[in-house]
């Protein structure tokens, strides 16, 4: 009961409570009989009916794997006799039924799964049942409209966040083109040559900008950056053998890094690997 969401509808001037929980929507039978003559005894009178017992038994067998069929057979055999009495609590206790809920307290009373509540409505009054179904459906339609509105809002926010995300990728992961400063410097450490080509900064420049971070620039790389870095290492060895100077190699590697990162960031295959 703690997980149930409470709502209500009005049927022919009667406010009727509804509990929506994981097992379905349960409608208050106690509220349904409130404006009928002999309200206090109507639920028990309905439960005493043999056809009612048979209906409840079929519903439980379909929807409740834990239903005690053996106890049900005994109840079914007694149903309809003048001495037969069946309350919602007794039905639940004996058979482990899930279609009825009987509880005490301020919001207590007898609740029935909507399938059963509609059947009870037919017994009370066909007209009352039709209005009950109509108002219940109106409530469900309103809830669905609110869900759709929430879903559309979430979708809109997702699009906005996606744009923010892609802009962030463009600004932070796509390697920058070489600055004049970096293009003019000769790097004694070939590892720093690759760092500048891919990350736009040397290892020292990264450490100076991230003094509180553990590890080095490569420890904080994305999957795409690590893939491109591996490729750049191989390509750099080829360019060295071809006799290209460091500045020329740096320009070539930077262009390749930009191209490969753009391709990888758009790849669904790489996204699935994360």
31 pLDDT higher than 90: yes
Task: Kindly report the number of other CB atoms within 10 A of residue 204's CB atom.
Answer: 12
Same domain, 131 and 11: yes
Please report which helix (H) or strand (E) contains residue 211, including its range: none
Query: Does residue 269 lie within any of the structural domains?
Result: yes
Same domain, 142 and 183: no
Strand 5-11 to 100-103 pairing: unpaired
Show the domain range for 77. 5-147
Same domain, 183 and 80: no
The number of folded domains in the chain is 2
Same domain, 71 and 202: no
Q: Which range is least confidently modeled, 100-109, 165-174, 178-187, 239-248? A: 165-174
41 pLDDT higher than 70: yes
Same domain, 191 and 138: no
Q: Which of 147, 181, 207 is the last residue of a domain?
A: 147
The predicted-structure confidence for 188-220, as pLDDT tens digits, reads as follows 677 888 889 999 988 899 999 998 888 888 888
Q: Report the C-alpha gap between 85 and 83 in whole angstroms.
A: 6
Q: Which range is least confidently modeled, 58-67, 142-151, 181-190, 202-211? A: 181-190
157 pLDDT higher than 60: no
Query: Does residue 153 lie within any of the structural domains?
Result: no
Query: Does residue 163 lie within any of the structural domains?
Result: no
Same domain, 40 and 76: yes
Residues of the chain above pLDDT 90, percent: 49
Query: Does residue 166 lie within any of the structural domains?
Result: no
Same domain, 54 and 142: yes
Q: Report the C-alpha gap between 117 and 226 in whole angstroms.
A: 62
Question: Quick check: pTM over 0.75?
Answer: no
Query: Does residue 164 lie within any of the structural domains?
Result: no
């Amino acid at each position: 009961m703690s997980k149930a969401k409470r709502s209500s509808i009005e049927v022919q001037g009667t406010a009727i409570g509804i509990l929506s929980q994981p097992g379905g929507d349960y409608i208050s039978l106690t509220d349904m009989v409130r404006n009928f003559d002999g309200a206090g005894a109507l639920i028990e009178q309905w439960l005493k009916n043999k056809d009612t017992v048979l209906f409840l038994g079929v519903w439980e067998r379909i929807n409740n794997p834990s239903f005690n069929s053996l106890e049900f057979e005994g109840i079914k055999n007694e149903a309809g006799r003048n001495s037969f009495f069946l309350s919602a609590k007794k039905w639940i206790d004996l058979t482990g039924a899930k279609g009825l809920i009987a509880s005490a307290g301020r919001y207590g009373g007898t609740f029935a799964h909507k399938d059963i509540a509609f059947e009870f409505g037919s017994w009370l009054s066909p007209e009352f049942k039709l209005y009950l179904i109509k108002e219940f459906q109106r409530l469900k339609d309103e809830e669905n409209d609110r869900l759709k509105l929430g879903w559309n809002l979430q979708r809109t926010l997702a699009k906005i966040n996606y744009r923010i995300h892609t802009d962030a990728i463009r600004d932070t992961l796509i390697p920058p083109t070489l600055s004049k400063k970096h293009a003019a410097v000769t790097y004694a450490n070939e590892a720093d040559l690759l760092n500048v080509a891919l990350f736009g900064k040397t290892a020292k420049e990264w450490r100076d900008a991230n003094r509180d971070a553990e590890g080095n620039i490569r420890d904080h790389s994305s999957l795409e950056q690590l893939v491109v870095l591996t490729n750049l290492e191989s390509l750099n060895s080829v360019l060295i053998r071809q006799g290209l100077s460091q500045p020329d190699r740096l320009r070539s590697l930077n262009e390749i890094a930009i191209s490969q990162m753009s391709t990888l960031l758009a790849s669904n295959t790489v996204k699935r690997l994360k």
